[in-house]
Amino acid sequence: MRGLTTIERDAIARCAAEPMLDQVTAWAAINSGSRNLEGLRRIAETLADAFSALPGTLSLLPPAPAEAVDADGTARAIEHGRNLHLVVRPDAPVQLLLTGHMDTVFGPDHPFQAVAWREEGVLGGPGVADMKGGLAVMLAALKAIEDAPSAAKLGYEIVINSDEEVGSPGSAALISAAARGKRAAFTYEPAALPDGTLAGARPGSGNFSIVVRGRSAHAGRNPEEGRNALVAAADLAVRLAAARAPGLSINPAKIDGGSPNNVVPDLAILRVNMRPETREKQAAAEAALAGAVDAIAAEHDVIVHVHGGFGRPPKPLDAAAARLFGLVRICGADLGQDIAWRATGGVCDGNNIAACGVPVVDTMGVRGGAIHSADEYLIVKSLEERAQLSALALLRLATGEEL
pLDDT digits (tens, 9 = 90+) for 3-54: 899 999 999 999 999 999 999 999 999 999 999 999 999 999 999 999 999 9
Question: pLDDT tens for residues 359-379?
Answer: 999 999 999 999 999 999 999
**Phi, psi (5° rounding) for residue 398?**
-65, -30
CATH class assigned to 6-67+79-202+315-398: alpha beta
pLDDT in tens, 229-281: 999 999 999 999 999 999 999 999 999 999 999 999 999 999 999 999 999 99
Domain range summary for the chain, segments of one domain joined by +: 6-67+79-202+315-398, 205-312
- The predicted pLDDT at position 381 comes to 98
Round to whole Å and give the CA distance between 269 and 130.
Answer: 31
Say yes or no: do domains 6-67+79-202+315-398 and 205-312 share a fold. Answer: no
| Arithmetic mean of pLDDT over the chain | 97
Q: What is the mean pLDDT of residues 331-354?
A: 97
DSSP count for the chain of H helices, then E strands: 10, 20
Percent of the chain exceeding pLDDT 90 equals 98
Q: Does residue 61 carry a pLDDT above 80?
A: yes
pLDDT band at 1 (very low <50, low <70, confident <90, very high): low
189 contacts: CB under 8 Å, gap ≥ 6: 100, 130, 131, 134, 199, 348, 350, 362, 363, 364, 365
CATH class of 205-312: alpha beta
Measured CA to CA, the distance from residue 370 to residue 100 in angstroms comes to: 19
Quick check: 179 pLDDT over 80? yes
